[in-house]
Amino acid sequence: MLYKLGALTLLILGAMLVLLPLGVVWVTSFQPPGPLLSFNLEVLWQQRSLASYRQAWVQGDFWLAFANSTGVAIAVTALQILTSALAGYALARLQFRGRQPLLLLILATLVIPFQILVVPIFLVLKWGHLINTYGALILPTAANGFGIFLMRQFFLTLPPELEEAAVLDGANRWQVLWRVLLPLSRPALVTLFLFTFIGEWNDLFKPLVFTTRPELKTVQLSLASFQEQFTNDWPLMMAAAVISSVPVLILFLVGQRHLIRGIATTGLKN
Task: Write out the chain's pLDDT in tens, 270 residues.
Answer: 677 787 888 888 888 888 888 888 888 888 777 766 566 666 666 677 788 888 889 888 899 999 999 999 999 999 999 999 999 999 988 888 888 899 899 988 888 888 888 899 999 999 999 999 999 999 999 999 999 999 998 898 888 888 888 888 888 888 888 888 888 888 889 889 988 999 999 998 999 999 989 899 999 999 888 876 556 778 888 888 899 988 888 887 877 676 666 555 554 454
- Could you tell me the CA-to-CA distances from 153 to 21, 31, 172, 199, 241 in Å, in that order? 36, 48, 22, 21, 36
Q: What is the Cα–Cα distance from 184 to 179, expressed in whole angstroms?
A: 9
Q: What is the structure's pLDDT at 87?
A: 92
Q: What is the structure's pLDDT at 259?
A: 63
What separation, in Å, do the N-terminal and C-terminal C-alpha atoms of the chain show? 40
Q: What is the structure's pLDDT at 268?
A: 47
Q: What is the structure's pLDDT at 231?
A: 61
Q: Which of 252, 219, 249 is nearest to 72 (CA)?
A: 219
| Three-state SS annotation for the chain | CHHHHHHHHHHHHHHHHHHHHHHHHHHHHCCCCCCCCCCCHHHHHHCCCCHHHHHHHHHCCHHHHHHHHHHHHHHHHHHHHHHHHHHHHHHHHCCCCCHHHHHHHHHHHHHCCHHHHHHHHHHHHHHCCCCCCHHHHHHHHCCCHHHHHHHHHHHHHCCHHHHHHHHHCCCCHHHHHHHHHHHHCHHHHHHHHHHHHHHHHCCCHHHHHHCCCHHHCCHHHHHHCCCCCCCCCHHHHHHHHHHHHHHHHHHHHHHHHHHHHHHHHCCCCC
Task: Note if the pTM is more than 0.75.
Answer: yes
Q: What is the Cα–Cα distance from 155 to 173, expressed in whole angstroms?
A: 14
Q: What is the Cα–Cα distance from 91 to 171, expressed in whole angstroms?
A: 20
Q: Which of 181, 185, 198, 153 is nearest to 261 (CA)?
A: 185
Handedness of CA 74, 78, 84, 87 (dihedral sign): negative
Q: What is the structure's pLDDT at 60?
A: 86
List the domains of the chain with CATH numbers. 52-265 (1.10.3720.10)
Q: Are the beta carbons of 137 and 65 closer than 8 angstroms?
A: no
Q: What is the structure's pLDDT at 110?
A: 87
